[in-house]
Structure 1
């Protein structure tokens, strides 16, 4: 009997950091906030002194929590930060992320800053929670690729399973109405359930080479619960390995312009809940009671937004209605 497959996981966590305390931001109605860096500092070596101090404190806190970061860097949006950790045990990856969020909020409060892990904190800005996943057996990578050869069977099945299952599991990786504002064209957040080789416009990206080959799942937003999001990812992989759904062709080029075989990412949490409840895959993976519980949680968020007058309502209707 062959040894069981074991997952290994690495997480990329993005968030935005603003100047001023959380109380000051609350009094301002979370409007007109000033990011700690005013420009795109993606991969920059030089940072404002306040941001460098935050990075140092966060690095020290994570090290003391036995959750040392692999890298802490600025991202593409003003004030946006990305933290990554070494690849390893799946549960430890989620535990580390939970400790990380506590550390970010505590250090930001000490330095009179305000972080947010919203998926879409501002119009045109999205923050993700990307999962890098691979399968191993007896200490050897099941996703290992060879130059010029077809993808290994376990990798093909995993991709197919994710593309088949994740459309029905969106409330587990995109749990709030705001989560769906991140899924915008040319945002580096996916809008279709596609896959490709080193293609960051796809939902599933095949990354790395040889023994380092892995899948990057780019659907979860920064607001996702990592335990639930990863549960959806692993359920999708298991579905692929056991049920063998058809693997569509990879997307070559811009996935935002592609004609997906599996349909678009849900536009709203309402759409996502309907697919979650009416489909069979989440129920089979987690049980009816789990699906009912998280569907209820999602509907609670929908109800909290229903009937609220927004800035967009005023901007589009104040003088035109």
Structure 2
């Protein structure tokens, strides 16, 4: 309780000077230094407070470069240019991003700082590191005179069992925490409020301000809205929320999953992203222009949204990164299937919301399984390309977008998304050839891993009848 009260007073965020003071008087004895891997997970070290001050604070800490070239099971597949046995799997440096330093209320006497991956000899950012990919697009926007404000809405399922129990059962049965659809249903949500209350309050105390939580459209499904901020801060909050929510669940004897489609009978879990474009001083929303058509959407917003829409298929590996991601896209499922835009229409891939200074659009294609740095970077990169190319915005989609005619579709499988990525010139131009190769290779390895496995579905379908 004492550390919770202390976290409230400091809003979770710390300066370096405050960290030194807290380590000195024993209020902090552990510092986590973490990088984000390709899959959107936090990897790193827990460092004792004294050693952090002595050896890590001024320089950072080393990590094996294989952490940015693994698969979901932490295997080390061949074919990556930067990390392989020929190169000896050497070290890169995790350099603290001090603006992310914060207390972690759900862990005792613990602070955490996110880090950028850099080459120790040159000091240059590692281009394939997710945070580096996003920072490059933010710099591109700033050079053009823009700043991005963004926010994530994350859906997830709460399970009554622990991760270990579900694992030991072979993932055959999972008991969702509820017994009926809890979308906006306060009575059902109350059953799990002891967990959700901790999520909201502890996250806010850790400098990840939560606006609200609510039941979502299936049994055991919930949504949390994270307060908007500049693009990098919001991506940091997103990845910290996912990691922290799982840790809080572990402490409560339950589990949370951000898998896009945990069961084919359930509603998929989305990771909607809101975005608006501002001047450098963040005083003027460049998406809004009074008196222009359609509906006060500025020409800049038209170009930006047109770019995101035109290149959605190219960047779909960033919006739907896994085999399972594509099973979320289904008609009348609350996940879109067509790349169309519309006002306040949840059947469209892109939904215009807000007015005047709050005018923005929501990407409803992205799932809860995204790596936020890559998804944010793809949206920014595609949108800036639309401005540079002065792309015209298509006509607004009306009515049920699931029935849209002659509208481009979201890729239907990882296979299709890989092909779009491989053939894309804009991904190479925006991200660079090295990033294009790295993440394309990762997607192909994931597809190959899936193709090699015989599933229970196949045995049930073909064992006797085939």
User: Normalization by structure 1: what TM-score?
Assistant: 0.95
CA–CA separation in structure 2 for the residues paired with 1:128 and 1:48: 19
Picking from 279, 286, 301, the partner of 1:155 is: 301
2:18 is matched with none
CA–CA separation in structure 2 for the residues paired with 1:295 and 1:133: 26
Structure 2 residue runs without a partner (length 5+): 1-142
Offset, 1:106: 1.0
CA contact (8 A) 2:245 2:256 kept: yes
CA contact (8 A) 1:145 1:211 kept: no
2:286 is matched with 142
Offset, 1:235: 0.8
1:43 is matched with 184
Query: In the TM superposition, what are the counterparts of 1:253-268 in structure 2 within 5 Å?
Result: 253-261=399-407, 263-268=408-413
1:109 is matched with 250
Residue 92 in structure 1 maps to residue 233 in structure 2: yes
User: Normalization by structure 2: what TM-score?
Assistant: 0.66
Residue 14 in structure 1 maps to residue 155 in structure 2: yes
2:354 is matched with 208
CA contact (8 A) 1:61 1:103 kept: no
CA–CA separation in structure 1 for the residues paired with 2:418 and 2:185: 40
1:196 is matched with 342
Picking from 186, 203, 206, the partner of 2:332 is: 186
Offset, 1:48: 5.8
Deviations 1:169-203 (A, max 9, x none): 11112111111001111111111111111111111
CA contact (8 A) 1:108 1:114 kept: yes
Offset, 1:49: 5.6
CA–CA separation in structure 1 for the residues paired with 2:366 and 2:309: 14
Query: In the TM superposition, what are the counterparts of 1:280-295 in structure 2 within 5 Å?
Result: 280-295=425-440
Offset, 1:92: 0.8
- Would the alpha carbon gap of residues 212 and 25 (structure 1) be closer, same or farther in structure 2, given more than 3 Å must change? same
CA–CA separation in structure 1 for the residues paired with 2:249 and 2:188: 16
- Would the alpha carbon gap of residues 195 and 260 (structure 1) be closer, same or farther in structure 2, given more than 3 Å must change? farther
Picking from 125, 130, 151, the partner of 2:272 is: 130
Offset, 1:258: 0.7
1:317 is matched with 462
- Would the alpha carbon gap of residues 298 and 210 (structure 1) be closer, same or farther in structure 2, given more than 3 Å must change? same
Which deviates more from structure 2 when the two are superposed, residues 219-228 or residues 245-254? Answer: 245-254
CA–CA separation in structure 2 for the residues paired with 1:76 and 1:145: 35
Which deviates more from structure 2 when the two are superposed, residues 237-246 or residues 45-54? Answer: 45-54
Offset, 1:221: 0.8
Which deviates more from structure 2 when the two are superposed, residues 35-44 or residues 142-151? Answer: 142-151
Query: In the TM superposition, what are the counterparts of 1:206-245 in structure 2 within 5 Å?
Result: 206-245=352-391
CA–CA separation in structure 1 for the residues paired with 2:379 and 2:213: 25
Offset, 1:317: 2.0
Count of residue pairs brought into register by the alignment: 319
Residue 121 in structure 1 maps to residue 267 in structure 2: no
CA–CA separation in structure 2 for the residues paired with 1:91 and 1:127: 23
- Would the alpha carbon gap of residues 3 and 26 (structure 1) be closer, same or farther in structure 2, given more than 3 Å must change? closer
